[in-house]
Structure formats: structure tokens, C-alpha cells
A = this chain, B = another copy of it.
Amino acid sequence: MSELREASDARRGVLFVVSAPSGAGKTTLVRSALERLPDLELSVSFTTRRPRVGEVDGRDYFFVEEGEFVRRLAAGEFVEWASVFDHSYATPRAPLDAAIAAGHDVLLDVDIQGARSIKAAYPRDAVGVFVVPPSLDELEVRLRARGTDGEEQVRRRLERARLELQALAEPGIYDYRVVNRERARAGEDLRSIILAERCRNDRAR
């Protein structure tokens, strides 16, 4: 019965917006979700910074000059954008609209401000996921274990994490929280969230 098949299968794509305080292990989780769910697309951001060794234009970022960035921004092409130090970053809107219409799911790795903007722009189609460390003590242990930051930097990151965790209580941004206590378990949680959202009755067309 083709009506039933359509009712069961056809759905809009979902935007999975993933954020985390630094050190919570988001990058690894996102990478593992993309590996385990090959039909999940990754949103590619625009940036004005130079490519690093090994980075590929159109895969890691769309690398553009400042002038082009500003032109696109003014044309309303970005859902969200931010400037960090000397460089700007932005999420293009067109690929998201195309994915939603085609029923493809997209993963967006963005900060809290970015998540806020995307949820506001796509209240129905975006799902917010916040990856949290099991505790701030544990986050401190992990930041020190990385060995990449000095004492002052570790303290700044912890202070920032403490602030960022408040975003969990902000209504309408983060639908889910994934506690990254153990990598495999957290990866399973993120994957489950994606599979479960695909089964949501109100997403069926």
C-alpha cells in the first residue's frame, strides 16, 4: 500500500546541532557519529582564515576572502556567523534548506551562540544536543591531561565551561544532553538521538 509506505518513510531532514564546552569531547563524538551513520551530512562552514595543512576547501571549510564573506553575509546567506580573533566563521543557509527538503539529516558542530541562532531559524527542524563532561572536576582532569594548555588557559576554559553549562537551562536550545562519561556510551547516546529523531511521528509527512 503505497500510501502507508509514504506515510512511514517520507520525512523532512533534521538538523542536529551539537555544542559542548571545550574539553567535553565533542569532536571525537561528532566524528564517530559521522562514521557510524554514513547518510548523515556534515554542515561545512565558511571561514576567512587560511587553510591549514591537509584541510580541503569545500570539505573542512569553504575558504573565502573577507570581501566575499561580507558580501554573502549582507546577502543573507548565513544562518549564523561569528568572529573569533581575526577570523570569521559562518553556517550557510542554502545547504540546510536543501537537506531538509530532501529528507537528509545534517550534523552541525557549532558553539552556543550558533546553536541559538540555528534553533531560532529552524524551530521545527533543528534538534539541539549539548555534550557535557560528567563533572567540572573531571573536565579539569581532562584539560590538564591534554597537556596543551598552561595553568592560566586551563582556568579560563573551566570558567568558560561553568558559564556555558548554564545554556542547558535556557529554554528552546538544547533538547538533549549527552554526558560524556565514557566515549563508547556517549557515542551510542548521540547515535540513538539521531535514530530516534528519525522515528518521530511529527516528522512524518
Residues of A bordering B, CB below 8 Å = 1-2, 4-5, 7-9, 130, 132-137, 165, 168, 174-179, 188-189, 191-202, 204
Asked if B189 and A9 make an inter-chain contact with CB atoms under 8 angstroms apart, the answer reads no
Q: Which of B177, B198, B200 contacts A201 (CB 8 A)?
A: B177
**Residue on B with the closest CB to A202?**
B175
Asked if B201 and A176 make an inter-chain contact with CB atoms under 8 angstroms apart, the answer reads yes
CB distance from A21 to the nearest CB of B (A): 11
Asked if A1 and B137 make an inter-chain contact with CB atoms under 8 angstroms apart, the answer reads yes
Asked if B201 and A195 make an inter-chain contact with CB atoms under 8 angstroms apart, the answer reads no
Asked if A4 and B136 make an inter-chain contact with CB atoms under 8 angstroms apart, the answer reads yes
Q: Which of A134, A177, A189 has the most CB of B within 10 A?
A: A177
**Residue on B with the closest CB to A178?**
B199
Asked if B193 and A199 make an inter-chain contact with CB atoms under 8 angstroms apart, the answer reads yes
A191→B193 CA distance, assembly (Å): 10
Asked if A179 and B136 make an inter-chain contact with CB atoms under 8 angstroms apart, the answer reads no
A165→B193 CA distance, assembly (Å): 25
